[in-house]
Amino acid sequence: MSTVKLEVHLSSEELLKAVEQLSQPDLEQFVSQVIALQAQRKASNLPQVEAELLLKINQGIPSNTQNFYDELIAKRDAETLTKEEHIELLNLSGEIEQLQAKRIEYLSELARLRGISLTALMENLGIQTQMYV
């Protein structure tokens, strides 16, 4: 697909209406890019170490990995998962858990640098905390 540069002035509401038209994969990619942009802007006003940690925290799971994982979960829930897909699901689950564990490490380090609790940091950053019982 070709792209052209076009300068348009949109309100945030108009931009949101345009974003609503994106396909799910394009929306996920757009959201990731917006989060990265937000992290970069916040990072420009922070000490270098904090900025680097925020960029790592906001990296997230690659969209193609997340999409494949979601497909495998849907197949598992529909009970149509093959043995090979089950192995792939287990491997992907492990990879995602490792990425999430690294993210928690980065969050913990940032909380330590700021002298606040991990929960307080997550609340400050707007990251939801969930308690599993």
For residue 130, is it within any domain? no
Quick one: DSSP state of residue 58?
Answer: T
| CB-CB neighbours of 9 under 10 Å | 5
pLDDT tens-digit series, residues 52-93: 898 898 888 888 999 999 999 999 999 999 999 999 999 999
H-type alpha helices, the chain: 12-19, 24-43, 48-57, 63-77, 83-114, 118-125
- Inside any domain, residue 37: yes
Contact 63, 32 (CB under 8 A): yes
Per the structure, the count of domains in the chain is 1
Q: Is residue 73 part of a domain?
A: yes
Within a domain: 90: yes
Does residue 17 lie in a domain region? no
DSSP letter at 23 equals -
Domain span holding position 94: 23-125
6 assigned to some structural domain: no
The pLDDT, as a whole number, for residue 2 is 52
Comparing 40 with 12, the larger pLDDT belongs to 12
Please indicate, yes or no, if residue 117 is contained in any of the structural domains: yes
Percent of residues, the chain, with pLDDT higher than 90: 39
- Segment 6-22, tens digit of pLDDT: 677 888 888 888 888 98
Q: Predicted confidence band at 125 (pLDDT cuts at 50, 70, 90)?
A: confident
In a domain, 77, yes or no: yes
